[in-house]
Copies of this chain bind each other. A is one copy, B any other.
Amino acid sequence: MPGKTSLFVPGPTNMPDRVRQSMDISNEDHRAPGMEKFWHPLISDLRKVFETESGQPFVFPGTGSSGWEAALTNLLNKGDKVLSARFGQFSHLWIEMCKKLHIDVEVVDVDWGGGTPHDEFEKILSEDNNHEIKAVLITHNETSTGVTNNVSATRDLLNKLNHPALLFVDGVSSIGSIKFEMDSWGVDVAVSGSQKGFMLPAGLAISCVSQKGLEIAKSSNLPRAYFDYHDMMKVNETGYWPYTNPMPLLRGLREALNMMMEEGLDNIYSRHLFLAQAVQKATQAWGLEMCAKDQSLYSNTVTAIMVPEGIDSTDIVKTAYNKYNTSFGGGLNKVAGKLFRIGHLGDLNSTMILGAISTAELAMYDVGINFELGSGVAAAIKHLKI
């Protein structure tokens, strides 16, 4: 099909030319002298993104889900229990991974579109007198429903109850796009990936681990090899890796971090909020509901829009892709057919978001949704004018 395929999924995101160019290199000798001059500043900039002073970033070939596994196998011991809530596809998948790794996971099920059930968590944690729950797992931004959770509130709860559970956070679709405060929230492992706020292709798991977490990892007894934090740290400190590292992605990460530092993290977060609001206002103008139950849960990186009864949201996604060369996200699992998603994270601006909104109108019009044509664009323009 002619023309660019427009990409409005909640990851992978639109890659800036600068990042793409930086990866378009010849293969390099990964054991060449002096790699520490490349690696140490990169680690230092990653700390800024995670907002941590003492946390230890890890970057290894893998995906966000491999980062989940590293968190679990490094910081937990055989027989450990963890607490989590399921309110979307990605919280669901992390829970399923715990089971596959023989970890005892206590699950609180929440209506999809909801967020962390702090009341139920409080009940469970306050009854956990023996502190059998060793970790609480939070999906910061649930990509499948467009819900952002209040991690700070979870930390406050643990503090209030004096519960020593570790705090594990999946920040795959938030970190780099939505403010993330590893240190002030007392996060022990934060997990992200390269293909969202970091504006790269998929292929790198990017994590950060607290000193407390690293100390525990020294003696934890779950089997692990490729994902072993201390094995990585020992070699990484010298600027190298325990294996052949994917230099193009690392060169790309370097350039992405350059761009992030140039724009300023707070400006990036404000921009994401601003663009998200344009999509929210368009949704309101169309007379449609969002999957997120409450405004306090609205995500700045992805908006999940409920379609009216009688419409299959899959048709919107297929129509947009097959007829108009544009990728939106569909509904996954429980919400399949019920919603479509507009990703609005990474290297994005007002013109691009107007392209997304107007193409959403085109696809919705095409599949027969009843709404005032142009209304979403008009509402967005009023918001976007600066």
Contact = CB atoms under 8 A, between A and B. Distances in A.
Interface of A: 1-7, 9, 11-17, 20-33, 61-66, 69, 97, 100-102, 193, 195, 201-203, 222-226, 228, 242-249, 263, 268, 271, 318, 321-327, 329-330, 347-352, 354-355, 357-359, 361-362, 365-366, 372-378, 380-382, 384-386
A380 B374 CA distance: 10
B9 A4 contact: no
Contacts of A372: 378
A227 to B, nearest CB: 8
A93 B351 CA distance: 33
A11 to B, nearest CB: 6
A385 B347 CA distance: 28
Contacts of A354: 354-355, 358-359, 362
B27 A201 contact: yes
B2 A201 contact: no
A246 B201 contact: yes
A361 B376 CA distance: 13
A246 to B, nearest CB: 4
A275 to B, nearest CB: 9
A375 B16 CA distance: 31
A385 B358 contact: no
Given A246-B203, A378-B374, A28 B3 contact: no
Contact of A351 (B3, B11, B63): B3
8 contacts: A4-B26, A5-B26, A15-B26, A61-B66, A101-B223, A202-B246, A362-B381, A373-B382
Nearest to A94: B225
Contacts of A9: 29, 31
A349 B202 contact: no
Contacts of A359: 350-351, 354
B381 A100 contact: no
Contacts of A101: 223-225
A54 to B, nearest CB: 26
For the complex of A and B, list the 9 residue pairs with the smallest distance between their C-beta atoms, beginning with the closest.
A374-B374, A3-B349, A374-B378, A355-B355, A203-B246, A29-B327, A373-B378, A354-B358, A202-B244
Identify which of A33, A322, A377 gathers the most chain B CB atoms within 10 Å of its CB: A377
A30 B2 contact: no
A255 B374 CA distance: 37
A278 to B, nearest CB: 10
A322 B326 CA distance: 26
B69 A225 contact: yes
A326 B202 CA distance: 28
B224 A100 contact: yes
